Amino acid sequence: MLLRGDREVIRSLFLALIAVQIPAELCAQDWNGRVAEAQRLFDAGQYAAGEKIMRLALRQAEEMSPAGLEEVAASLTNLAEFVRAQKRYSEAEQLIQRALVLTEKLFGADDPAFAAVLSGKAAIETDRGRHAAAASLYERCVRIDEASLGLSDPIVARDLNNLAAAYASLGRAAEAEPLARRALRITEETLGSGDPKVATCLRSLALIRVAQSDPEEARRLLERAAGILRDTLGTAHPESRTVQQVLAGLSPPDPVASLEKAVRAKPHDTSLRFRLGVAYDEKKRYVEARQAFEAVVAREPGRREAWEYLALIYESEQDNTKAEAAYRKALAGAQTDWPSLNYGIFLSKQHRDAEAIEWLGKAAQLAPQSGKVQYELGRVLLQRDEPAKAKETLLRAARLAPDIARIYYFLGQAHQRLGEPDLATKAFARFRELETSGPR
C-alpha cells in the first residue's frame, strides 16, 4: 500500500504483515480491489478521489468485523494517509490513533505492523512541525523493525530515512547523514536503483547536504531523484514537482567548487587547472588565480593564454618585471588583439609611449573594427602630444564604439589642442551625457 519516505511514510498494514491470510468468506477480493485502486490514485496524486475509495474499503472492512479487524486497521492507516496528504491533520490524527489502538490490540507493540502505523503518526507530527515528537516515534519504529525484520529490510530503510529527516529538521545534520546514506544503500540493494523510494531517500540526503553546506552534492542527488521520478511517476506527480521546486531553490552551481574538486581528482590536467584559474579570476580571487596559472605554465610553458592572465595579475600586483616577461610569453605567436592591446596599455602606464603605440598599432591590425583598440591608441597618441593623429584615431573609435564615454573626453582634448573650441565643447558635452547614463 502506501510508502512515501518523509512525505509518504505509511506502508499498508496488509502488506507489512506477510503472514496474514484473509479468509475467502470475508470478500477480501473486493476489499483488495478497492485498496489497489486507492493506491493507484494515490500514486497519481489524486488524493480526494482515492480517499472516497478508501472510505468504501474501510466501510467494507468494518462490515467484516470481527473477522476483518486486520483490514479495518489497514484501512484506517491508509485513509489517514489520504487525509494527511490533503492537510487535514486533526482528522488524520484521529484516524491514526484508532489504527494504533486496534493494531496494538491485534499484534502487540513490538510488531512491524504497529511500527507501520506508528510511522504514520510520526508523519503527521512532522507535518505539524513537531519534529522532536516525530523523531522519538521514528526512533521507536527503527528499534521495532530492526529487531523483527533485520538490518537490511526496505521497511527499516524507510524508518531510517524518516528518522534522518526528523534529525535534520532539528538541526542534527551530522547525526542524520549516516542514517540517510544507510537508508539509500539498503533501498537500492533491495528495490533497485530506479525505484521511486530511492528518489525519496535521495531527496532526504540532498536536504541534509544542503544543511551541511554542500549544495553541489545536493544538486547531483536531486537531479538523480528527478530522473527516477520522471521515469516512474511522471513530471506531473506531486513528488516530481516537489523535487523540481527544491532544485530550483538551490543556489546556482559554484563553478569554483566543481573545478577545485576536478583538479583534486586530476592534479596534472593543465586544462582543468587553467579553467580553475579563470574561475578564480572571475571571482576576483587573484592570488589563487595566479597560483593556478603559474602551475599551468610550469607544466605547459607554451600556454599563451595562461601567460596573458598572469601578466594582468602581475601588473595588478605592481610586479612590472614579471608582468612584462609574462606579456612577452603571451605575445609569442598570438593571433588575437588582446595580448598586444593589454601590453600596449601596460607600456603606456610606464610612459613608454613609442613602444605602446607600436603594440597598439599591431592590435589595431589584428582587430580593425575594435573601438576599444582605437580608443587606447588615440589616448596614447594624445599623451605623446600628437593631437592630429589622436583626433583621427578617436573619431574612428567613436564610429566603432559610440557609447564609450571616455572616447569623447580625449577627443575633446584633441580638439582643444588643435584650436577647435566648438568641436571640443560638443565632445565634452557628449562625454558628460554618457558618463551619467552609459558605459564608461
170-211 tens-digit pLDDT: 999 999 999 999 999 999 999 999 999 999 999 999 999 988
Residue 5 has pLDDT above 90, yes or no: no
Mean pLDDT (the chain) is: 88
The residue ranking higher by pLDDT, 23 or 254, is 254
The residue ranking higher by pLDDT, 390 or 440, is 390
Banded pLDDT at 40 (limits 50, 70, 90): confident
**Which range has the top average pLDDT, 31-45, 51-65, 415-429?**
415-429
Banded pLDDT at 23 (limits 50, 70, 90): very low
The pLDDT score that the predictor gives to residue 29 is 53
Separation of alpha carbons 405 and 60, rounded Å: 82
Could you tell me the three cell numbers for 330?
A: 603571451
Residue % of the chain over a pLDDT of 90: 72
**β-strand partners of 8:** 4
Could you tell me the three cell numbers for 55?
A: 472510505
Per-residue pLDDT tens over the stretch 276-330:
999 999 999 999 999 999 999 999 999 999 999 999 999 999 999 999 999 999 9
Q: Fill in the amino acid letter for 98.
A: R
Site of grid cell 483488495:
32
Per-residue pLDDT tens over the stretch 394-406:
999 999 999 999 9
Per-residue pLDDT tens over the stretch 217-242:
999 999 999 999 999 988 888 889 98
Domains in the chain, start-ordered, CATH in brackets? Answer: 1-149 (1.25.40.10), 170-253 (1.25.40.10), 254-333 (1.25.40.10), 344-440 (1.25.40.10)
What size, in residues, is the chain? 440
pTM for this predicted structure: 0.56
φ, ψ dihedrals at 181, nearest 5°: -70, -40
Per-residue pLDDT tens over the stretch 141-152:
999 999 999 999
Classify residue 20 by burial, with Cβ atoms within 10 Å: 0-12, 13-18, 19+.
middle
Classify residue 165 by burial, with Cβ atoms within 10 Å: 0-12, 13-18, 19+.
buried
The pLDDT score that the predictor gives to residue 438 is 54
For residue 430, CA distances in Å to 357, 393, 408, 424 come to: 26, 17, 7, 10
The pLDDT score that the predictor gives to residue 27 is 44
The pLDDT score that the predictor gives to residue 108 is 93
The pLDDT score that the predictor gives to residue 18 is 26
The pLDDT score that the predictor gives to residue 67 is 65
